[in-house]
A and B are shown apart, each in its own frame.
Chain A
Amino acid sequence: MGAQLRVYKRRIRSVTATKKITKAMEMIAASRIVKAQRQVAASTPYATELTRAVTAVATGSTTKHPLTTEAETPGRAAILLITSDRGLAGGYSSNAIKAAERLTERLRGEGKEVVTYVIGRKGVAYYGFRERKIEDSWTGFTDSPTYEDAKRAAAPLIEAVTQETAAGGVDELHIVYTEFVSMMTQNPVDNRMLPLSLDATKEEGGKGEILPLFDFEPSAEDVLDALLPRYVESRIYNALLQAAASEHAARRRAMKSATDNAGELIKTLSRLANAARQAEITQEISEIVGGASALADATAGSDK
């Protein structure tokens, strides 16, 4: 076998192996999207009921709570950025990071100091490499987040919000994650979680229905105190689940194009290998024919 042909064969073998891997990853991601979507759907009743309850308390009572009132001069804002732990998901993490960067820029433009919280190794690596300060980070659960994970991430955020700004607290809480629209579309979005803007919660939960006057047990303040942390947790949980579904969808798409690409490459390489093989055969034949005729010429000459 000629040297060139051997090189082609080797490359075809390696690309075939890669194709097998990417194909497997594509199928794993595809099966996980369905699971993640189901989790999003399962968490929806809790989220909608909670949103309804929060809207009810916030509209139905005149209670002032640090988590619902806007600071007059917001000085610090926290951003919670949700990225993935693993790569090979196309532009998934970098799109989310870009959205967070844009939001940071905007908030800085409004004269606010920004503190960043990051979920996912990719985000941590991005900020770590650029030596930017991360207030806190969590990794290791972006594939299939549980409610416990959401609680863990929510705890310091809630604490920061309830603290005074001067004592290291924050006035605003934003969350940046990738919204799962469909199998083909995932958008990085930024939402302001706190202080609550009632219009937004109304849109999500109430849909314009008139809420009844509630009787609060034990009191509106206590209910709100208990409700808001849960609300933040549930919002973070929902964002984590959507981000997980988006991550799998993005990975499936990236792996599908990698598989297609590998197929294309194999096709081109086998064409080249075939051409090389044919060229080799042609050359061998012409060598044999040339050699034979030279031999025949030599013998014919010696006969004379």
Chain B
Amino acid sequence: MAAELHVELVAADRSVWSGEANLVVARTTSGDIGVMPGHQPLLGVLESGPVTIRTSDGGTVVAAVHGGFISFADDKLSLLAEIAELADEIDVQRAERALERAKSDTDAASERRAEVRLRAVAVR
């Protein structure tokens, strides 16, 4: 059996998801990065974007992460984000409305947040 890595996805005010996984793909400031068990210790800055976690039981967990860090050592991976939501938790209609509103207000930050949410849902 392939080695596993333990993933902790934590937001500032709660622990969002934790479990075992085979692969984690996240977007850092210098490009997408995929982490598998046995990866070199890593500490990176995350871009806002969807994070894909392939769990060891064959499932896929997608989360929208708004800024934060990825840190990996000893087959333990932590994703730290100020705001993180699982794709299942995202209310698509609300995100779409937020996107519309942000576009009309030209609020770049919240437009980006809404876009990331929708992308995460699309990946799911």
A interface residues, Cβ below 8 angstroms from B: 39, 42-43, 45-46, 49-50, 52-53, 56-57, 146-147, 151, 211-218, 222-223, 226-227, 230, 233-234, 237
Would you call A217 and B80 a contact (CB within 8 A)? Answer: no
* Whole-angstrom CA separation of A142 from B77 in the bound complex: 33
Would you call A214 and B29 a contact (CB within 8 A)? Answer: no
Q: What residue in chain A is nearest B70 (Cβ atoms)? A: A217
Majority-rule SS of A interface residues: helix
Q: What residue in chain A is nearest B41 (Cβ atoms)? A: A212
Q: What residue in chain B is nearest A39 (Cβ atoms)? A: B13
Knowing that A46-B11, A214-B41 are A-B contacts, what are 19 other residue pairs whose CB atoms are under 8 Å apart, sorted by A's residue number?
A43-B14, A49-B71, A50-B69, A50-B80, A52-B71, A56-B73, A211-B73, A215-B41, A217-B28, A217-B29, A217-B45, A218-B44, A218-B45, A222-B45, A223-B69, A227-B45, A230-B82, A234-B12, A237-B13
> A217: which of B14, B33, B68 is its contact (CB, 8 Å)?
B33
Interface assignment of B106: CB less than 8 Å from any CB of chain A: no
Distance in angstroms from B86 CB to nearest chain A CB is 16
Interface assignment of B74: CB less than 8 Å from any CB of chain A: yes
Q: Which residues of B lie under 8 Å from residue A57 when comparing CB positions?
A: 43
Distance in angstroms from B71 CB to nearest chain A CB is 5
Q: What residue in chain A is nearest B18 (Cβ atoms)? A: A45
* Whole-angstrom CA separation of A49 from B73 in the bound complex: 12
Evaluate whether A49 and B43 lie within 8 angstroms (CB atoms) in the complex, with A217-B30, A227-B69 already known. Answer: no
Q: Which residues of A lie under 8 Å from residue B78 when comparing CB positions?
A: 49, 52-53
> B15: which of A39, A45, A217 is its contact (CB, 8 Å)?
A45
Would you call B10 and A45 a contact (CB within 8 A)? Answer: yes
* Whole-angstrom CA separation of A227 from B70 in the bound complex: 11
Would you call B41 and A217 a contact (CB within 8 A)? Answer: no
Interface assignment of B1: CB less than 8 Å from any CB of chain A: no
Would you call B33 and A42 a contact (CB within 8 A)? Answer: no
Interface size on B, residues (CB 8 A): 26
Evaluate whether A237 and B29 lie within 8 angstroms (CB atoms) in the complex, with A212-B73, A226-B69 already known. Answer: no
Would you call B80 and A42 a contact (CB within 8 A)? Answer: no
Distance in angstroms from B91 CB to nearest chain A CB is 19
Interface assignment of B109: CB less than 8 Å from any CB of chain A: no
Would you call B80 and A146 a contact (CB within 8 A)? Answer: no
Distance in angstroms from A7 CB to nearest chain B CB is 54
Evaluate whether A223 and B44 lie within 8 angstroms (CB atoms) in the complex, with A147-B82, A211-B73, A230-B69 already known. Answer: yes
Would you call B45 and A226 a contact (CB within 8 A)? Answer: yes
Interface assignment of B8: CB less than 8 Å from any CB of chain A: yes
Q: What residue in chain B is nearest A241 (Cβ atoms)? A: B13
Write the B19-31 contact mask toward A (1 if CB under 8 angstroms, else 0): 0000000001110
Q: Which residues of A lie under 8 Å from residue B2 when comparing CB positions?
A: none
* Whole-angstrom CA separation of A207 from B50 in the bound complex: 33
Would you call A217 and B12 a contact (CB within 8 A)? Answer: no
* Whole-angstrom CA separation of A222 from B73 in the bound complex: 19
* Whole-angstrom CA separation of A119 from B88 in the bound complex: 36
Q: Which residues of A lie under 8 Å from residue B29 when comparing CB positions?
A: 217-218, 222
Would you call A216 and B43 a contact (CB within 8 A)? Answer: yes
* Whole-angstrom CA separation of A52 from B41 in the bound complex: 13
Q: What residue in chain A is nearest B80 (Cβ atoms)? A: A49
Q: Which residues of A lie under 8 Å from residue B60 when comparing CB positions?
A: none
Distance in angstroms from B2 CB to nearest chain A CB is 21
Q: Which residues of A lie under 8 Å from residue B69 when comparing CB positions?
A: 50, 53, 223, 226-227, 230
* Whole-angstrom CA separation of A57 from B73 in the bound complex: 13
* Whole-angstrom CA separation of A216 from B28 in the bound complex: 11
Distance in angstroms from A79 CB to nearest chain B CB is 24
Could you jot down 23 A-B contacts, CB within 8 Å? A39-B13, A42-B15, A45-B15, A46-B10, A49-B71, A50-B80, A52-B78, A146-B13, A147-B13, A212-B74, A214-B71, A215-B40, A215-B42, A215-B43, A216-B42, A217-B30, A218-B45, A223-B45, A227-B69, A230-B68, A230-B69, A230-B82, A237-B12
